[in-house]
A and B are shown apart, each in its own frame.
Chain A
């Protein structure tokens, strides 16, 4: 099955801890994205990557970091600098970074800070 996988499905973090969310795709897509979704709101772009070894900040990058060492993987680290990290995190990919291309979404990771 081709698609995007995210792990874990649920994640709990203590105050002051860094956590890393996994995103893997086997669609051979060049572009990958991380979004944050809060209740009653749309998706907000955290980071995106147009190609391996390159990534760009989105609208709400503060307190987050990413890497893109492999085409199929785009992990997101939520650092202790992110003051309100409790949210639903969605990873997506598209064939390339042209914004008119369909983005394919993973099932999401729900992060809760204890």
Chain B
């Protein structure tokens, strides 16, 4: 069965510094993977999607993620955090018939 682990429940960074949100998945095959973002009391918005076309995936708002099969990881990065990046982030592998949601990582950005 597919599963996902987001290694940090909370990440705090200063504005202008890099962001790293870690995600490990378990799967018996190369999965499709999403990163979604949720701002407080809002729905989820797709940041980026991996579907095996390229291991480095660029998304919206300057985010990108690299798929590493050997490490079963799909970490999300951004070179320079902005205050508006403060939100909850979900790494979501695609299961056989549904999306697999982890518990999320809350990103705080300090001025």
Contacts and interface: CB of A to CB of B under 8 A. Distances in A.
A85 interface: no
Nearest to B32: A100
A56 to B, nearest CB: 9
B42 A108 contact: yes
A99 B98 contact: yes
Contacts of A103: 44, 46, 99
Interface in A32-82: 35, 40-45, 48, 58
Q: Is the interface of B mostly helix, strand, loop or mixed?
A: loop
A45 B98 CA distance: 8
Contacts of B9: 40
Contacts of B45: 105
Of the four ranges (under 10, 10 to 19, 20 to 34, 35 or more), the interface on chain A belongs to 20 to 34
A11 B70 CA distance: 46
Interface in A85-114: 88, 90, 92, 97, 99-100, 102-108, 110
Nearest to B34: A102
A42 B49 contact: no
B97 A102 contact: no
Contacts of A105: 43-45
A58 B98 contact: yes
A99 B95 contact: yes
Given A42-B104, A88-B41, A104-B46, 19 more contacts: A4-B43, A6-B43, A40-B103, A42-B101, A43-B90, A44-B101, A90-B44, A99-B32, A99-B95, A99-B99, A100-B51, A100-B94, A102-B46, A103-B44, A103-B46, A103-B99, A105-B43, A106-B43, A108-B43
Shortest Cβ-Cβ A-B pairs, 5 listed? A42-B101, A105-B43, A43-B101, A105-B44, A100-B32
26 contacts: A35-B101, A40-B103, A41-B103, A42-B90, A42-B103, A42-B104, A45-B98, A45-B99, A48-B98, A58-B98, A90-B43, A90-B44, A92-B43, A97-B97, A99-B32, A99-B96, A99-B97, A100-B32, A102-B34, A103-B44, A103-B46, A105-B45, A106-B43, A107-B42, A107-B43, A108-B43
